[in-house]
Chain A
Amino acid sequence: AQTVTQSQPEMSVQEAETVTLSCTYDTSESNYYLFWYKQPPSRQMILVIRQEAYKQQNATENRFSVNFQKAAKSFSLKISDSQLGDTAMYFCAFIPYLYGGSQGNLIFGKGTKLSVKP
């Protein structure tokens, strides 16, 4: 079975500080894509960052970066200089890239509720 585990149901961080959200996954596929999505109270799911499994270099998007450890099947998200607007549920997800070019479906973790405190 393909699963995503986010071991931190809730986290809090002070504004301007750095926080890391953990994610581990399990799949037998060798090709896949990993994502972090953010869902603020408005419920709109927003893509934060994406990582292709075949790339060794960790993805970075402004204040957001990942630590991708393929052998350990770990994909953590680091948020630097946290802002009040970062308060949201964060979901780790992956999608297998299947033989023949088709893709499977997004598999999500249960989420981590992040609160940024002033």
Chain B
Amino acid sequence: KAGVTQTPRYLIKTRGQQVTLSCSPISGHRSVSWYQQTPGQGLQFLFEYFSETQRNKGNFPGRFSGRQFSNSRSEMNVSTLELGDSALYLCASSFSQINEQFFGPGTRLTVL
């Protein structure tokens, strides 16, 4: 069974631009969560989607948004990029509400 895939793996953007990251969960998994990882703040939860509905949202500004499609694939969007948005963005999927999460390889976003 294929693992969680994330595209693109690397991105370089400039301040003020917007970016869309994509995540394809493991087949059959309906929950997708997004995390931001930085050296200073560590791993921080962004949001979680289950069956196309956002169930949980972390403490991030409204510039960070996401969605989930009927095939469980998810996208997250960051608008008006800031230097501090440079991070590794990790996506994780799980089968149901109480199962462990499996992570993708991440998207490394650099904002110049």
Contacts and interface: CB of A to CB of B under 8 A. Distances in A.
User: Do A and B assemble together?
Assistant: yes
Interface of A: 33, 35, 37, 42-47, 50, 91, 93, 97, 101-111
Given A101-B97, A106-B35, A43 B106 contact: yes
A110 B103 contact: no
Given A33-B100, A102-B97, A91 B105 contact: no
Interface of B: 33, 35, 42-43, 45, 48, 55-56, 58, 88, 90, 92, 97-98, 100-103, 105-106, 108
Contacts of A33: 98, 100
Contacts of A47: 100-102
B88 A106 contact: no
Contacts of A106: 33, 35, 43, 45, 92, 101
A55 to B, nearest CB: 13
A107 B35 CA distance: 10
Given A101-B97, A105-B33, A105-B58, A44 B103 contact: yes
